[in-house]
A and B are shown apart, each in its own frame.
Chain A
């Protein structure tokens, strides 16, 4: 790496090198300093609003080497988007300096995502001789909080929530030393000057965390709410647990089966010992969570192997700097089945902050839980709690203690959720560790804001060839989501300097995101984008399609507002960014009672049977599951079309079949029936024989060339069940039938319209088994298949598609 002498490097030259991307707060200038001095170059480097700018002077070969290496050799947190060179007149001089930042001009640099504690910091954390031994806020230029503490630009300490913690002399020295790992590490802190950790316990609680379980919880609209959930009755007046060791006290509480709210990077978690079935059940009751799977945090890789088999790629994800929740095929009965009952996958992550490492115990610590449930600290459906006052109000009733600190969280950032699918990383929720890195766009867009959907909301700011997707905000149903959305939008606007010229939103008349865009757009145009068109455009964009050729978009999800006012969700669209036509869809069936049908899959099964002309035989699962009074009224309701929107939703068909097969009649969380149907199908293993077959006939209404009828599939399911075929086989055959429908629909589109590329998009493709079956079948038939990787197939990716439809510059494609 080091070049011996300057003389060996040819005639003198001077270059200005501008590096754009995520290059601030990631140790870039010390890296440039080391690179330049190593090559024997003179000059200086500085942060500017445009990026890092270095001027180097020396032998031509050394300058060339500098330019060639600066991008590829960048530090781990840097993300180099572009490197520009400019030749200057030679000025002479010697030495290489890091000069003060220039802050004037338009901001073009990017803020890094939050990053897991690095190996160097971890070693110091565990080293009794280090001055940051066991410091819960240890970090450096290679790790620690970033996005979640940034309050403005330029990215320096004054513009973070660390502004309120003046550095001590020792930290200030490190901060100013270009040779130090903490040179300009904005979150730098130590025991002397950093944030403080405290464990808040309810008034009257015993120090060991024991308490008397109090009153019954209040009732709930959630069907799955259980009446027996005990909640702590204590009030908090900010009392700190005695003993001066908040971590030790929290670990003792967790070991005793308690629930602790833990303030993390992008919000609060609720934690309990995942090996303690009673503790898990307690948290489930308090959160009124039904059977929804919990994510767990595991001390290390060997402990992961106890829960699930992993492939090298999954291990790399688990231990990498992002540290997302990785969905793994769980071992049967891992953790007693309490953490993810009925689900095929278990969500696992490794510790990513010093507090997490300390909570799970360093070598030599007294034994404690090695697997913690770590679920977003929120009231069901609301955004993750970031505010300390809100935590006391909303989380204290759910927790036995709060492990808090005094470093504010600027914007919420939930844990990202990913899985490995066909050998690639696939997003389920793109949030911490990814946001706010931009997605590279295939064509230029005007400065624009796409507000996304109402569930799993993310929004997207775009300009030029960049699309910045926000972190996961949550469901817009909750008023708190509007505030979180507004805070995140302000921050992302500030750090990207995008001034939108156009807004994009969904066409659903009741979407709050769209109402927000409508209200706040001022004079700006607002483009309303059809839901499934946005899904298709998102898939095209992340795969770099410029939109000059139409593709087949298989958009399967639960609900999207259709242009005819129906609830779409089982669509084959032929489209590009500019528009789409509907080629094929599922036949419309009544959606009896809107959300009630979604929460009670047996209603969906009965509606599907009714639409298929199949009698409600009392021997059928959904008929038996439906209370007789409801059954009688439901019969009239579907006949009269009373509060029954027509729907072509594939998600609802999964619900219907899940109920028909007896897998799930009541959904306690979103897509529970479909998730459990997938789990059943996976259990069937191979050799299930042929799948069922959808009817496929020309559309009569002129709104689609083909209409797929689920009736024959339902009849086959019933015949199989009556013949004694196992539920798992039925589930597997249904998955095969859907994949077969996808293949037949796409083949027809290819024959009639010559399209060879298929995008699989929409929340239904969060079903890994279905996604794999469809992709395999299509590829075998010669199609090019686009599967989501960078953004989720569900509504978390919607904003990217809205942006492409609304803001693409038509002259740049």
Chain B
């Protein structure tokens, strides 16, 4: 479980097993999507597998995630997704109406995202060898000219913007999976971000980096960027938007919303001179209505993300490692 958590352990797998084995310059960039040049055209190319349990949850399903997840990975390189592949691994005995609902969700999500499912595959494994339905999608899209989104471009002074309130997806999935009854039902924020990104790039192609804070949450995304860019990141804790219901659920469970997964949010590092205009463009888009500045990149403490607490205190926000063990003695 820990190795899939999007934190230090999955980074370890990539660094120590996959990257050395595969080699290649493209993989070495280690972005959410690869930027490749084919026949003189710059393409974003990405794949992701979806093993979420349960298959349906408030605000979405594995089908929505399979489309939006890959669409968003492409969007983080600035690309509008053009074509998707979609592969199913089905466990023997999975009910057809369930599969049909997932397929419909995929179709609807693809239409909403303006992407076409162009190819696919289906395999069936023996009963007990799968979890009902696994989905893999891959996608390609064009990267607009002049757009170069990489953490290495981040410099001290960059403004950190999130597109809206965080934490809903992870809490929504957990509440159904674990049978937790919170005061208010929390819905996943699953959404395709290609349009929002296009609106941001329309202001200026000179955004430095975008990330969708999925597994490991905002904390993981900020840590990855800080490490790759060799800058420090300072976040004003009180500026990070968390819906009250999510904050309440996290408090009750002892979770930090900064570590909870999102499926329809992005975090952007923007040169300060463009920050206001980009923020305004985001707020004008339905998926960026709640966009806010949460902090900035700094020259101090490179590689480290620091949260400034309400009372003038500061704490290090580290990369999530396995379970969140307390350190208090």
Contact = CB atoms under 8 A, between A and B. Distances in A.
Given A219-B238, A221-B309, A645 B252 contact: no
A219 B308 CA distance: 11
Contact of B253 (A477, A567, A637): A637
B311 A217 contact: yes
A560 B316 contact: no
B251 interface: yes
B329 A560 contact: yes
For the residues of B in contact with A, the DSSP-based class is loop
Contacts of B313: 379-382, 478
A690 to B, nearest CB: 31
Interface in B145-186: 174, 178-183
Contacts of A477: 315-316, 327
Contact of B325 (A379, A510, A596, A633): A510
Contacts of A560: 329
Interface string A582-598: 00000000011111111
A456 B310 contact: no
B310 to A, nearest CB: 4
A394 B323 CA distance: 33
26 contacts: A220-B309, A379-B313, A380-B313, A397-B312, A455-B328, A479-B314, A480-B314, A509-B322, A510-B325, A557-B329, A559-B327, A593-B252, A593-B253, A594-B325, A595-B254, A596-B253, A598-B326, A603-B254, A633-B180, A633-B249, A634-B252, A636-B180, A637-B178, A642-B178, A643-B253, A794-B329
B71 interface: no
A596 B253 CA distance: 8
Contacts of A636: 178-181
Contacts of A520: none
B310 A219 contact: yes
A567 B254 contact: no
Contacts of B301: 479, 482
A454 B329 CA distance: 9
A379 B312 contact: yes
A795 B91 CA distance: 51
A670 interface: yes
Nearest to B255: A643
Nearest to A603: B254
Contacts of B248: 629
- Using C-beta atoms within 8 Å of the partner chain, give the interface range for chain B: 35 or more
Contacts of B329: 453, 455-456, 557-560, 651, 670, 763, 794-795
Contacts of A512: 316, 318
Contacts of A511: 327
B122 interface: no
Nearest to A509: B321
A512 B249 CA distance: 28
Interface in A443-458: 453-456
Contact of A225 (B180, B311, B328): B311
B312 A595 contact: no
A352 B178 CA distance: 58
Given A594-B326, A603-B254, A670-B328, 14 more contacts: A220-B310, A381-B315, A453-B329, A478-B314, A509-B322, A559-B329, A560-B329, A561-B325, A591-B326, A643-B253, A643-B255, A643-B324, A645-B325, A651-B329
Given A453-B329, A643-B324, A594 B254 contact: yes
Interface in B178-236: 178-183
Interface string A633-657: 1101100101101000001000000
Interface of B: 174, 178-183, 237-238, 248-249, 251-255, 301, 304, 306, 309-316, 318, 321-329
A251 B181 CA distance: 57
A592 B251 CA distance: 11
Given A217-B311, A218-B238, A637-B180, A629 B252 contact: yes
A355 interface: no
A425 B255 CA distance: 41
A632 B249 CA distance: 12
Contact of B328 (A220, A595, A632, A645): A595
Nearest to B251: A596
B179 to A, nearest CB: 6
Given A595-B254, A642-B253, A510 B327 contact: yes
Interface in A649-688: 651, 670
Contacts of B309: 220-221
Nearest to B316: A479
B238, B314, B318 pick with most chain A CB within 10 angstroms: B314
B251 A379 contact: no
